[in-house]
Structure 1
Amino acid sequence: MAFARICFWALLCAAVPQDIAAAHAIDPVRETASWGWTAFTVASLALSAWLYARGLHRLWARAKAGAGIRRWQAAAFAGGWMAAAAALLSPLDHWAEELFSAHMVQHEILMLVAAPLVVLGRPASAFLWAFPPGGRRRIGRFLASPWWLATRRPFAHSLGAWATYAIVLWAWHAPVLFEAATFRDDVHALQHVTFFGAALLFWWAFLDAGHGRAKDGIALVANFTTAVHSSLLGALLTFAPTAWYAPYLETAGHWGLTAIEDQQLGGLIMWVPGGMVHLIAGLVVGARLIGQDGFRPDRQKPLAHRAGGGK
């Protein structure tokens, strides 16, 4: 259970700086709402760490360590969990209230670092094993029910996950919704939940696509077009002649930036590092696609043999 202890101390260290940074807040209503969101975040992170550690312990107790979930996958989940904790509980969360660029860093960590690492850790398997046998059977029956399969099918497909990710990303960057998230903590919480949830769907469909050339091909196209439209959004933010979001018109000055400079920096953060993540992911799946049976050199030998007249 060392992973659970590490998670506890990470939560403690991440939460303390936020409380210190919140000491300058002048709006008691917003501060109370912010603490409610923080408590929900801490509880969610703690529960996920406990479920994963408990399930992993039970799974590995049945066989040698690494069975079902490999050590590197457990390490990936831990890395993704700590990235999410850093994005949501560190002072970055408070800086995002004054800097659009900090807000972009927070979102990029959630969607392009934490989400894919968590998916690589196979949390569904670990969470399922956290329950006793009777509970696992009931959950299994629920997940196998026709109505649940029909509900999840559109989102489990690469195209459905792609569409969900695109809609969530673009909708929340519309000024009316983005500004609502800066003024109201409940809307801000909803923004983070939908960003992270859409990213989990996207990376789950993308990273789980290695079951045939067709699925890998669709995933590759979905990833490429996601890189294109998210980079386009970053470029629009970077080259916009005016600032899109009114709340940062005054607060960016606290950091020695104008609102338009802050927005340009945030656009570049979405455009360049975000594009690099999708590029790397695309190269990985592209290499997997090329390495499948139809492209292996040993499968080309019969063709050469036939071309030589069967000799």
Structure 2
Amino acid sequence: MHHHGGMTQLGPFSFSTMWTWSPDWVFLLAGLVVLGLYAAGVVRLHRRGDRWPIGRMVGWAAGVASMLAVTCTGLNDYGMVLFSAHMIQHMVLSMLTPILLLLGAPITLALRALRPAGKGRPRGPRELLVALLHSRYVRVVSHPAFTIPLFIASLYGVYFTPLFDTLMQYRLGHVFMMVHFLFTGLAFFWPIMGVDPGPHRPGHVMRIIELFMGMPFHAFFGVAVMMAGHPLVTTFTAAGAPPGTNLLEDQKLAGGITWAFGEIPTAIVLIALVYQWMGSEQRHARRRDRAEERSGDAELEAYNAYLASLHKGDRPRGAGPASAPAASTAQGAQTAAAAAPTVPAAEAG
């Protein structure tokens, strides 16, 4: 597919030529499958009477749509012959699609939609997913000390070494690179977005620091590409490009796209983080209020029961009916206390 399988020469790169339907079957099928699975999970929750936030569904659908927009359109054809078009693909797949998909909270949905295997049965998909989330492998792969260098290396390592030219000779190499960009982005933003459970859940401030640790490298890379005085990669040639393309100008455009694109996901992530932060503060406040209400009532009831027992002090303890209300209130306090921890857990979910 490197030479477009006998395709005619592409016309000038423009918005109209970009948005033509040109499916890449790997991504098209993958996109439809994950959309279908997600929808099935939501349907199962609804049948059970559980709500699943609409915002998460929109996030997931938008994530899949953004992936298809850069892999199943004319942009994918141009991505084979123009550095700038390829960079748009790279940026969307590594920095926009992952954020939108993570806002869809797919792991949470899977954990809630998959049924537990039950006692004595072999481990089902849900148990395997939980085991995977707790595995050392995932702990390493989602650690900032791994994800931030990986995120940076997938920029510098791909374009400043012969790797890009090697991969672009093969259709499979191109697909592999796109998939790699997507997974690098998912790994980088997963601990930061923090909608889904994961091994590393830093506080909100730490997440913002993590986000900003990766960004200067990203911006610097874009500037380095813009400043380069010679073609960085040999894949894009004047012969393959649309007629009249200046390869160096196109490379400068690619660098500019990279540099400018860093701001978009940063803004989206910051907004999402502040929103989550406010939500978690409100939840903590509600939890504290409820805990106070519960313990306050229980103490009051116990105290009243104690006063009542003093008042009937002439009776032997536990003989008369007077101790019955005291016992029942004590039991009430116990059941209230026993019920206490389960309430916030349900709400937090």
In 2, distance between residues paired with 1:79 and 1:253? 31
- Given that residues 77 and 119 in structure 1 are in contact (C-alpha distance below 8 angstroms), is that contact kept between their aligned partners in structure 2? yes
Q: 1:55 aligns with which of 22, 31, 41?
A: 41
In 1, distance between residues paired with 2:133 and 2:34? 26
In 2, distance between residues paired with 1:39 and 1:157? 32
* 1:240 counterpart = 2:228: yes
| TM-score normalised per structure 2 | 0.65
- Given that residues 159 and 222 in structure 1 are in contact (C-alpha distance below 8 angstroms), is that contact kept between their aligned partners in structure 2? no
Instruction: Name the SS of the counterpart of 2:124 in structure 1.
Output: helix
Could you tell me which residue of structure 2 aligns to residue 300 of structure 1? Answer: none
Tell me which amino acid in the other structure corresponds to 1:278.
T
| TM-score normalised per structure 1 | 0.73
- Given that residues 102 and 195 in structure 2 are in contact (C-alpha distance below 8 angstroms), is that contact kept between their aligned partners in structure 1? no
Could you tell me which residue of structure 2 aligns to residue 265 of structure 1? Answer: 253
Q: How far off is 1:223 after superposition?
A: 1.1
Instruction: Write out per-residue CA displacement over residues 209-248 of structure 1, whole angstroms, 9 at most, x where no aligned residue.
Output: 8999953233222211211001111000001111111222
Q: 1:96 aligns with which of 57, 61, 79?
A: 79
In 2, distance between residues paired with 1:205 and 1:266? 28
In 2, distance between residues paired with 1:143 and 1:238? 43
User: After superposition, where does 1:69-218 map in structure 2 within 5 Å?
Assistant: 69-128=52-111, 131=114, 134=117, 138-145=124-131, 149-208=135-194, 215-218=203-206
- Given that residues 110 and 126 in structure 2 are in contact (C-alpha distance below 8 angstroms), is that contact kept between their aligned partners in structure 1? no
Structure 1: unaligned runs, 5 residues or longer: 1-20, 27-36, 294-311
RMSD: 3.3
Instruction: Write out per-residue CA displacement over residues 65-116 of structure 1, whole angstroms, 9 at most, x where no aligned residue.
Output: xx2x310110111111111011111111001111100000111111222110
Instruction: Write out per-residue CA displacement over residues 21-72 of structure 1, whole angstroms, 9 at most, x where no aligned residue.
Output: 977269xxxxxxxxxx9332222112111111101110122125xx2x3101
Larger radius of gyration: 2
Q: How far off is 1:144 after superposition?
A: 3.8
* 1:227 counterpart = 2:222: no
- Given that residues 144 and 188 in structure 2 are in contact (C-alpha distance below 8 angstroms), is that contact kept between their aligned partners in structure 1? yes
Range 232-241 or range 274-283, more displaced:
274-283
Instruction: Name the SS of the counterpart of 1:124 in structure 2.
Output: helix
In 2, distance between residues paired with 1:220 and 1:166? 17
Tell me which amino acid in the other structure corresponds to 1:188.
H
In 2, distance between residues paired with 1:265 and 1:138? 49
CA spacing shift, 1:263–1:219, aligned 2, 3 Å: same
More helix by share: 1
Identity across the alignment (%): 22
User: After superposition, where does 1:249-260 map in structure 2 within 5 Å?
Assistant: 249-251=237-239, 254-260=242-248
Q: How far off is 1:283 after superposition?
A: 6.0
Could you tell me which residue of structure 2 aligns to residue 40 of structure 1? Answer: 26
CA spacing shift, 1:79–1:209, aligned 2, 3 Å: closer
Tell me which amino acid in the other structure corresponds to 1:190.
F
Range 127-136 or range 165-174, more displaced:
127-136
Instruction: Name the SS of the counterpart of 2:238 in structure 1.
Output: helix
Instruction: Name the SS of the counterpart of 1:267 in structure 2.
Output: helix
